[in-house]
Structure formats: structure tokens, C-alpha cells
Chain A
Amino acid sequence: MVKFLKRSYVYLIFAFLYMPIAVLMVYSFNDSRSRGMWGGFTLRWYVELFQDRTIMSSLYSTLLIGVVSALVATIIGTLAAIGIHNTRGIQKKVIMNITYLPVLNPEIVTAISLMILFVFARVRLGYLTLLLAHITFNIPYVILSVLPKLRQLNKHLYEAALDLGSTPTQALWKVIIPEIMPGIITGMLLAFTLSIDDFVISFFTTGSGVSTLSITIYSMARRGINPKINALSTIMFTFVLLLLIVVNVRQAREEKKGRNGKNGSKRQVSSLGARLGGV
């Protein structure tokens, strides 16, 4: 019963989160261009979508920049968080306060100051500058996601690993990283999300010929966002959902197999000793 209530609560929150998504998906089948009117059912936006060069190439840029910037930001940010965690005093405060700046600064300020920096340094605006900008505003979110996990970490874990004969690098990779993994994943997810949703910073740091989905969509606003975009969103959403289901079913099947087989206990490996056994 309690479990039922708990689940219902989360489902309610999902209802809140997915209500607008349902609306925009429904409008991808709207025969009228306007959001204000239901003009009947149509699939023409889906047909037109695949003939639209601009949208397809901006989708590609968006995903490329999103994945690469999230990866790089996660690596730099995780390492930074570990470093910050082991720093004390004024040095730590200075670094943390600077880390807050990209979160705190209004997007437009970050965007214009980065653009001036790139132009001044004579870096050609394009993929590279877009990537640098995205990594920059992603890193703080990774750090903020990883730091709490580090605070939670048992202080003696690292030393114990060293005592057991692992090198500092091994201790980092075999002991600390697995322990803070949920934080790293969270950070990477947030970074990817921020990257694909950003408009202001992308607009000012990109160059000719490189456009993200956000830029394409915002620039349509004056004439009304074309329902082709709704169609694209519907496809993306369905794809992600299907992917989740497939992965899920496969995992469930593997677990079942694992439970039946004798190697089931391998999945349970989590104690320090067992992990270091592989060193």
C-alpha cells in the first residue's frame, strides 16, 4: 500500500512533466500551422521534415555537440571535483566561487563575453567555439553533481586502498570513481540536457554554416514554429522511449539468466576487497 502511494506520487510528477510533451506531440498531427487551431489530422509535417535539409543538419550538430561536450565536461568536471574535494581553505573558496559564475551569470552575458573572447583570439566561430562554450557552461553542473558524492565518501576508503598496495591512480579508478558513479552519471545527463536545450550561448558562439536545433527553432519564432519541429520532437521522444524499453527488457532477461546460472554472484561484487582483487 505504501509502495503504491509512493509510486503514485512519482507518477503524478511524471504527469506534470509529460503534459506539455503530450501537447506538442499531438500538434505534430495538426493540419493547421497555428497552435491556436485544430485543423484536422495530417502526416504531412513528417513527410516535409525529411526533405528539410536545414533541420536535419542542425539535428546532427545538436547531437554531436551535445554528446562531445557532455563527455568532455564530465571528464574535466569529475577530475576537478576530486581535486576541489581535497583542497582546503581560501583556495577552495576561490575555485568554488568561480565555478558558480557560469551558473549565476545570465546566459546573454556569458554568451557575449565568450563571443568577444573568441573573436579577439581570432578563433574562427564554428564547431570548435560552439564546443568550447558548451563545455564551459556544462562543467559547473558536473562539479555540483559529483561533489556531494565525494562528501559522502568514506574518508578512509582511499587510504585503505593504498594500504592494500594499489597505486594512487589505481585507487582513483578502482575505488573512488565507482563509488561516485551515480554523481558522474547525473552530471553527464544534466550536461547533455543543458547542451541540447541551449539557445542564447549557442547562437552567439557559432559561425556561418553551423546551426543547432535550438537556433533553427528560435529563428522560426517570428513566423510561428513550423509543426515539422513538433514532428521531429515526436520522433526523437518515441525513439528514446523505445530505446529505454529495449535496454530494459534485455537487462531483465540477462538478470533472469544470471539468477538461474551459477555466476549470479558476480553481479553483486561491490566490496572493496573484491574490487581490488582485479588490480
Chain B
Amino acid sequence: MVKMVRKGKLVLLVLVLVAFSLSLAGCGQEKPTLYVYNWGDYIDEDILGEFEKEFGMKVVYDTYSTNEDMYVKIKSGGSNYDVIFPSEYMLTRMLQEDMLEKIDLNKIPNHKHLDERLMGTVYDPKNEYSLPYLWGTLGILYNTTLVDEEITSWDVLWDDKYRKQILMLDSQRDSIGAALIKLGYSVNTHDVDQLAEAGELLKQQKPLVLAYVVDEGKDKMVSGEASLALTWSGEAMYAISENEDLAYAIPEEGTNVWFDVMAIPKGAKNLEGAFKFMDFLNRPEIALRNTEYVGYSTPNVAARAMLPEEVRNDTQAYPSDEDIENAEFFVHLGDALRHYDRVWTEVKAH
């Protein structure tokens, strides 16, 4: 009996301690706090400490793994982030649902360093809500020892020669998008017939596909498990840096240019801090460190100029004007997303 009471006390003690430490975590903040929500491993974290020191602000930094995860968290209303980093299609979705604060470009003077070609794009024509953070293209990563032709077209992903050597993305928008571009349609189409056509094309392709991959695809390419992969340029750059036999190509039919942008969710408490943070990230030397750490392309022209010559002139990482003009941007599809989902489920269950 005594033993039991003692055990009970111990448990109680543990609980009280926990409750105490929880309440401590909540208070005692004199400095203003900036809550930042970003992709995992998507910033040189030393930069956060420097920002804290320079502006006398505390930064609470959390990470997510997909746009959708982040969206559901923000939408629920249970979070309190000041700066988020959605991709462009998620930005348009959040805009449609009135989930974002306007930004004040006057308070972000460093935005003048950003590439004109990547500003004022269709997803945010006046840059009222967002500034690009990192960007890239959709293309084909291939192993030059296994593929000895020049890649110029999406057709190669449908070539019987590469049966069970092809990796597609397990992502509705990107895989269906590649099929749509190949067919000459818009990647944002709402047309059910066009989508059905793209679906048929993907079903035809399925016997050739080794796997529909997400994040593990780049490692498969590095180890030479597959010859060709539909992939984003950032992932491709990473894979090429690990294995020199790999190369990345943007097909001539066109591509999709993607962005991860900085934005402020509605109800953010520390607007001033958010602007300062966005301005800080747009300083050329800071943007340089981030692009070097992450390995994705920076939209910051001044930062790009400071990169080693072979990187800044690499047309794989920084495509030509022509490629950019020829490219489309994703926007949120609203209810049409269900048709995409339907087509995709059919392809996968085929």
C-alpha cells in the first residue's frame, strides 16, 4: 500500500514538473518574437542567429515537409506564424481563400535585387503578397552513361527503350503536368477531355515506369538505379553534385517554372518583424549563403552575380530567357483538382 502511494506521488511529481515546464515555455518573453515556418533544411540556420542579434528579436523556427501539411496547419487557425514559404500554386490557393496579408514593398528595399523576369508573374501579378525565395524548373534528370542521346523532348519518358528505367513523380500536378505539356495543353487546364487524354498517356506509360517516387528519387538516380527521372531542377542539381554522370535537361516543348515564395499569413502579429526578415533574406550576401546552402537557384540577381562562374552561367540551374518565356506557372485549380485526383487514382490503380 505504501509502495503504491509512493508510486502515485512519483507520477504526480512528473506531471507537475511537466506542467510547470510547459507554462514556463509560454511566458517570460520580453523581446518581440518572430515565428517562421519553412521547409525542412531550407535555410542556412546560422542566418537566424544573425538576424536575432542584429534586430534584437527572437526567432522561433519550425519546419514542414509539404505545402499541403503547411496549408492545413495555417487553415486550422491554431498556429501563429509570421512568415511562411509556400510554393506558387499554394500561394494562389491561400490568396483565393483570403489567408494572406499584403506586404509593403517600401519596407523591403532589398527587393530591388530580385530578377525582373521572375517578378509580377501570373500567381501574384503586382507582388502584393509575395516575393520569390528560391525557384526552378521541371525537367528530366538522366544518367549520361545509360542514355546516350540528347534529351530535347518529353517523348523520351514514353520511349520503350527505357522500359522499367523511368522514374515519375508521385505528385498529381507534376506528372499530369508533364503529360499535358507533351500534348500541348496548359498545365492548369480545367478541360476534362484534355485531362482524360493526359490520363490515357500516363496509363500507356505505366509499364515503362520503374516507380512513382517523391523525395527518394534523387538518391535512386545518384546510385544509378534508373536512367531517367521527371524531376525539379533543385533536386537535379543536388543529384548532379553527388554523381557527375547525371545531367538535367529542359525539354523544348516547354516546362513549368516553380517558385517557393515568402509570404505572411493573415493575422500575423509581428508584421514589422516579418518585413525586416524578408528584407534580411533579400540582402545579396544572405541570399547567396542560402542558395549555396540549399543548392536551389536564387531569384536574387546580385547574389547570383557573386556565385562561382560555372554555377551562375549553368543553364541547367539558370535557364535562358527563351526557356522562361516558354514556361508556364502553376496556379491553384480549385474544384478542378478533383478531376486531377480522379485521373491520377485511375492511373495508379490501372
Contacts and interface: CB of A to CB of B under 8 A. Distances in A.
Is chain B in direct contact with chain A in the complex (CB below 8 A)? yes
Interface of A: 32-37, 39, 52-54, 64, 68, 71-72, 75, 112, 115-116, 118-119, 124-128, 131, 169-170, 173, 203-204, 207-211, 215-216, 218-224, 226, 279
Interface in B58-83: 60-66, 69, 72-73, 76-81
A226 B22 contact: no
A219 B242 contact: no
Interface of B: 1, 3-4, 11, 14-15, 18, 21-22, 25-26, 35, 37, 39-42, 45, 60-66, 69, 72-73, 76-81, 214-216, 218-225, 238-239, 242-243, 294
A125 B294 contact: no
A219 B39 contact: yes
A169 B5 CA distance: 11
A221 B170 CA distance: 14
Contacts of B225: 36
Contact of A221 (B65, B79, B224): B65
B14 A68 contact: yes
Contacts of A75: 11
A170 B77 CA distance: 48
A203 B63 CA distance: 10
Given A71-B11, A127-B18, 18 more contacts: A32-B242, A34-B219, A34-B222, A34-B238, A36-B225, A68-B18, A71-B14, A119-B77, A124-B26, A125-B78, A170-B1, A203-B69, A209-B62, A219-B40, A220-B41, A220-B63, A224-B218, A224-B238
B88 to A, nearest CB: 16
Given A34-B218, A71-B14, A203-B69, A125 B79 contact: yes
A226 B41 contact: yes
Shortest beta-carbon contacts, A-B, top 3: A219-B40, A36-B223, A36-B222
Contact of B238 (A126, A173, A221, A223): A223
Contact of A127 (B22, B81, B294): B22
A220 B4 CA distance: 44
Contacts of A54: 45, 61, 63
Nearest to B225: A36
A223 B61 CA distance: 17
Contacts of A170: 1
30 contacts: A33-B242, A34-B219, A34-B242, A36-B219, A36-B221, A36-B242, A37-B222, A39-B242, A53-B45, A54-B63, A68-B15, A71-B14, A75-B11, A116-B76, A126-B26, A127-B22, A169-B1, A169-B4, A170-B1, A208-B62, A216-B40, A216-B63, A218-B40, A219-B65, A220-B40, A220-B41, A222-B40, A222-B215, A223-B42, A223-B294
Contacts of A224: 215, 218-219, 238
Contacts, number: 135
Contacts of B64: 203, 219
Contacts of A53: 45
Nearest to B3: A173
B237 to A, nearest CB: 11
A36 B220 CA distance: 6
A52 B40 CA distance: 13
Contacts of A210: 25
Contacts of B72: 112, 115, 204
A220 B216 CA distance: 11
B25 A126 contact: yes
